Amino acid sequence: MAQATDTFTVFVTRHAEKADQPKDPELSQLGQQRALNLAMILQHVPLQTIYTTPYRRTQQTAEPTATQHQVTLMTYAAGGAEQLVQMVLQQQQNTLVVGHSNTVPNLVRLFGGSAPELTEQDYGDLFVLHFVNGTVTTTRLSIPAYLPAALGQ
């Protein structure tokens, strides 16, 4: 197990914009761009672990980052936040967690950070939880989502 003086960072975000599909939707074009932007933001972070729920929208949000870092996506149950947080805190590794609007705030709080409630329209929030000597600092960033004008958006 890692020493108490170790530092590590956990990144928690909601999946990017989803397509208008009734069951297990994929990402929309805008969501795909936001997923690429997430990978760009995290390109210099030495990520060791990436967790997503078993849904396509969370996995597709994390895929560009996982590919870039050559990390295999690990799946957690959306209702298993407590178990996931305990595991990540024990591992003390730089980790990305992709969840949903109704799970991200709770995940951040379980890690010891602070986060407002998110609505179904909130996309692009990236909560950075930096752990140093057992103390957590929360930073809230925004992942931009730009589409080329050629896509008509």
CATH number at residue 39: 3.40.50.1240
Q: Which residue has the higher pLDDT, 134 or 75?
A: 75
153 band by pLDDT with thresholds 50, 70 and 90: very low
- Residue at 44 is within a domain: yes
- Residue at 2 is within a domain: no
- Residue at 22 is within a domain: yes
Q: What is the mean pLDDT of residues 59-78?
A: 97
Q: What is the pLDDT of residue 22?
A: 84
Q: Cα-atom radius of gyration of the chain, to the nearest Å?
A: 15
* CB crowding 35-74: b at 16 or more within 10 Å, else e: bbbbbebbeeeebebbbbbebbbbbbbbbbbbeebebebe
Cα-based angle 28, 73, 10 (whole degrees, multiple of 5): 90
Residues in the chain: 153
Choose among 45, 38, 81: nearest CA to 63: 38
- Residue at 128 is within a domain: yes
Q: Is the pLDDT of residue 147 over 70?
A: no
Q: What is the mean pLDDT of residues 16-41?
A: 95
Q: How far apart are CA 135 and CA 113, in angstroms?
A: 10
Q: What is the mean pLDDT of residues 81-109?
A: 97
Q: What is the pLDDT of residue 21?
A: 85
- Residue at 75 is within a domain: yes
- Residue at 1 is within a domain: no
Q: Is the pLDDT of residue 5 over 60?
A: no
Structural domain boundaries enclosing 40: 7-147
- Residue at 77 is within a domain: yes
Q: What is the pLDDT of residue 2?
A: 45
Q: Which residue has the higher pLDDT, 1 or 147?
A: 147
Number of folded domains in the chain? 1
- Residue at 45 is within a domain: yes
